[in-house]
């Protein structure tokens, strides 16, 4: 897990940036995350040509921001102010992780840990930052309800 802490941080902070701007992805799967570089966790691995991969470790938020994790495929995205929609976005990511990577429960918890912190050093987020702690609390409360019932909205009330 330690090797993937940088990735959990990048996903959590990036997703909180989207949700703080009221943007819901709509299809959060690992296929819709893109890294434009070979991850540092591959350092020491042997490439196809027999050479050893040597890369610097990503240790700071600045390193991670520079690494450039991108959310892609916004074809199902939409704007929403509701905690329900943000919770469903998180739930879809959780289901995608657990279905493709069965031992990923702790990894998702780490993503949520960084999601709660909000985006790092982001001017656009600065305006909504004072409201983020209260909002994320409501989103995570709603997530627990969504996890019980599944992603489909309740038809009651």
Catalytic annotation, residues: 27
C-alpha–C-alpha distance, residues 91 and 97, integer Å: 10
Contacting residues for 21 by C-beta, under 8 A, at least 6 apart: 124, 125, 128
C-alpha–C-alpha distance, residues 48 and 31, integer Å: 24
Kind plus residue range of the DSSP H or E element containing 78: strand 78-79
Beta strands at 23-24 and 78-79: parallel, antiparallel or unpaired: antiparallel
């Amino acid at each position: 897990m330690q090797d993937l802490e940088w990735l959990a941080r990048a996903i959590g902070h990036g997703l909180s940036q989207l949700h703080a701007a009221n943007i819901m992805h709509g299809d959060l799967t690992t296929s819709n995350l893109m890294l434009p570089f070979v991850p540092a966790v591959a350092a020491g691995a042997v490439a196809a040509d027999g050479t050893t991969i040597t890369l610097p470790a990503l240790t700071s938020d600045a390193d991670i921001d520079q690494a450039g994790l991108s959310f892609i495929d916004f074809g199902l995205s939409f704007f929403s102010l509701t905690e329900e929609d943000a919770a469903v976005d998180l739930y879809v990511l959780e289901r995608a992780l657990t279905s493709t990577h069965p031992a990923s429960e702790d990894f998702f918890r780490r993503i949520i840990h960084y999601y709660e912190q909000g985006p790092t050093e982001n001017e656009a987020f600065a305006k909504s930052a004072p409201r983020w702690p209260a909002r994320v609390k409501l989103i995570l409360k709603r997530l627990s309800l969504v996890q019980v019932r599944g992603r489909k909205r309740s038809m009651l009330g």
